[in-house]
A and B are shown apart, each in its own frame.
Chain A
Amino acid sequence: MSRNDDFDHVIASWLRRQAPPQAPDRVLNAALGRVASVSQKRSGPRRLFGGNPVTMLTRVAAVAAAVAFVAFIGLQLSNLNGTVGSSQSPSPSGSTEATSSPSPSSSVSPSASSIAPQPTDAPLLLRLWLGNEAGAYHAMTVLEDGRVITTADPGSANAPVERRLAAAGIQLIRIELAATGLADRSADYFPIAKPGVEPPPYGGAPAKLEVAEDGGGTVVITWFLHNSGNAYFEPQPEAEALEAFGQRLLTLDEWLPADAWAESNPVPYAPEAYVVRIETQAWGGSLDDLGPETSSVSWPLAGGIDGFGDLMNETGEPSVRCGVVDANQGSEIIDALVAAGATQTDLTYPAFALGKRASVELVTIDLEPILPHTDAPCASPGNLLAP
């Protein structure tokens, strides 16, 4: 058994000894007392029906994401000698337009909190979201310039990858989209119970398709296809058409001809901006185990690490600072952290650890890529435990 296994065993044993074997009776009694006066949430079209598990579309998404992720990991491993900074700048053939991000002078050193992400040059064509009981999550974004950005299934990885379609590929997707006959107006398509039938309860986030309109607006279509057959619900032709279209999107490799791709191998997604979260918390270990001092980092933005972005929590630990930086600034931050010898905690998601020995604190810095045409999610301070 390795030293790590030994220590894991020590921790597991200690936690088991610490855990109370049973809850006091008052806990269950009090909870059930409260339950007696609480109604279940059954109102609203999104929570009325169902009972069936994950839709076929979700399963296809998981498989497609896994395929893309495996290919991406292979690429990462083959490029392992490169720095993290350089791994964020893929160069697919014919992709110079997309990767030529804005180039502010690094000597300007603007404050991160005042920086808005640079708008991408390429308009959105469409974006597909899938849903589960925990909420909606990004599955695929297709831009007019042919970039196809795919996010792996939540919980398995969070390393978006991108490929690039040729004009012919974009056209084929447009044709598929038009064939649904549903892409020109926003609508919700949810199961409708048959008269006299009590459907099983159902909820969770529906799938969602955003389609850019010529005039600059966005059509938003949501649906949930209940695949319990027709026992409980009226036929759902619209949801079935959308589900089929979603499946086509997630299996592009299976039906697009080779010349529909300008670059079919996935590369790490090159974001136009990052959300940077800096967490500072007390360190309980030896100072020898802390990463390099924060003061040793040539932080490229004004205000330094301690003054970065906005403080997201007034009290409590860890303290969280958050800001949005553009791609160049993100690369500069990554390069500065690598140069300082900051401990990298993940290969696919730029994350680093530093230390403050005087105050015995651990400082972690994560850079989360932002998807095109989405709002910067700084309001959620890197902790999805929060509602």
Chain B
Amino acid sequence: MVQRELIELAMKGDRDAFSALAASVVDRLYAVAVLILRDHSMADDATQETIVRVWRDLPSLRDPDRFDAWVRRLLLNACHEEGRRQRRRRPEMTLLPIHEPSVADTSSALADSDALERGFRRLSSDHRAAMVLHHYLGLSIPEVADATGVPLGTAKSRVHHATRALRAALEADARGADNMRGGTA
């Protein structure tokens, strides 16, 4: 059954259709939540919350063709809420490395990955969300603005600043490595 049919059935309260619909989107939702929140446990909660809200509010979806965009927005809200909740609960939140690097990574790529990880952690959740939507999901900047509910200029600014911060983090790391090599030569 195609997604549109599942959506229309679920909108009418068909729980089996909703289960199938949720199963079809949960992996992508979880991946986005992990990337934004940098924490598996928080991503678990945000993804669950999103699925529950999708079910609860599905009748309010005006246009089934907008389902993906609507769910993304619910997920971002859930991530934001989860971030706020966790900050209240534990101010010194531990941000875990998310995924083991592939064995094909070179040592240079590993260093870059570490530098990106550090740079990415230092971004605000809003900036991380903009980066994930743009670079991971491949949304255009207007689509990022639409998904996050911010003006186009703000979305553009977030992607711009975050990209600049990550680039600078990599370059700073490279300069550090060069200095190290210079010192031992």
Contact = CB atoms under 8 A, between A and B. Distances in A.
Contact of B142 (A14, A34, A156, A284): A156
Contact of A204 (B60, B142, B145, B146): B60
A217 interface: no
Nearest to A39: B56
Contacts of B70: 133-134
A36 B15 contact: yes
B165 A27 contact: no
B99 interface: yes
Contact of A11 (B15, B51, B122, B131): B131
A95 interface: no
B168 A284 contact: yes
B98 interface: yes
Contact of B102 (A17, A41, A156): A17
B39 interface: no
Tell me what chain B mostly uses at the interface: helix, strand, loop, or mixed. Answer: helix
Could you say which of B18, B101, B166 has the most chain A C-beta atoms within 10 Å of its C-beta?
A: B166
A364 B76 CA distance: 22
B59 to A, nearest CB: 4
Contact of B172 (A36, A279, A286, A387): A286
B98 A11 contact: no
Given A14-B116, A133-B62, A285 B156 contact: no
B29 interface: yes
Contacts of A12: 135-136, 138
Contacts of A157: 151-153
A132 to B, nearest CB: 7
A374 interface: no
Could you say which of A18, A42, A156 has the most chain B C-beta atoms within 10 Å of its C-beta?
A: A18
A40 interface: yes
Interface string A198-210: 0011111000000
Nearest to B83: A316
Interface in B47-102: 47-48, 51-52, 55-66, 70, 73, 76-77, 79-81, 83-84, 87-88, 91, 98-99, 101-102
A286 B125 CA distance: 20
Interface in A323-380: 345-346, 348-349, 351, 353, 362, 364, 366, 368
B123 interface: yes
A40 B55 CA distance: 6
Contacts of A203: 57, 59-62
- Interface size for chain A: under 10, 10 to 19, 20 to 34, or 35 or more residues? 35 or more
B31 A284 contact: no
Contacts of B84: 316
Nearest to A40: B59
B138 to A, nearest CB: 8
Contacts, number: 255
Interface stretch (A47-55, A97-105, A111-119, A162-170): A47-55
B142 A41 contact: no
Nearest to A288: B168
Given A27-B30, A35-B15, A154 B163 contact: no
Contact of B22 (A31, A39, A286, A386): A31
A11 B166 contact: yes
Contacts of A38: 52, 55-56
Contacts of A382: 150, 154
B161 A366 contact: no
A111 B123 CA distance: 30
A178 to B, nearest CB: 30
Contacts of B156: 345-346
Given A20-B99, A27-B48, A54-B62, A15 B172 contact: no
Contact of A156 (B81, B83, B152): B152
B37 interface: no
Contacts of B167: 7, 285
A281 B164 CA distance: 14
Could you say which of A15, A17, A132 has the most chain B C-beta atoms within 10 Å of its C-beta?
A: A15
Given A23-B47, A349-B152, 18 more contacts: A12-B136, A19-B136, A32-B51, A51-B8, A54-B63, A132-B62, A133-B60, A134-B70, A155-B145, A156-B142, A158-B152, A201-B59, A283-B168, A285-B119, A285-B169, A285-B172, A353-B157, A383-B80
Interface of B: 8, 11-13, 15, 18-19, 22-23, 26-27, 29-32, 34-35, 44, 47-48, 51-52, 55-66, 70, 73, 76-77, 79-81, 83-84, 87-88, 91, 98-99, 101-102, 112-113, 116-119, 122-127, 129, 131-132, 135-136, 138, 142-143, 145-146, 148-154, 156-157, 160-161, 163-172
7 contacts: A17-B113, A19-B35, A21-B27, A51-B11, A201-B60, A345-B157, A383-B150
Interface of A: 7-8, 10-12, 14-24, 26-28, 30-32, 34-36, 38-42, 47, 50-54, 132-134, 154-159, 200-204, 279, 281-286, 289, 315-318, 345-346, 348-349, 351, 353, 362, 364, 366, 368, 382-387
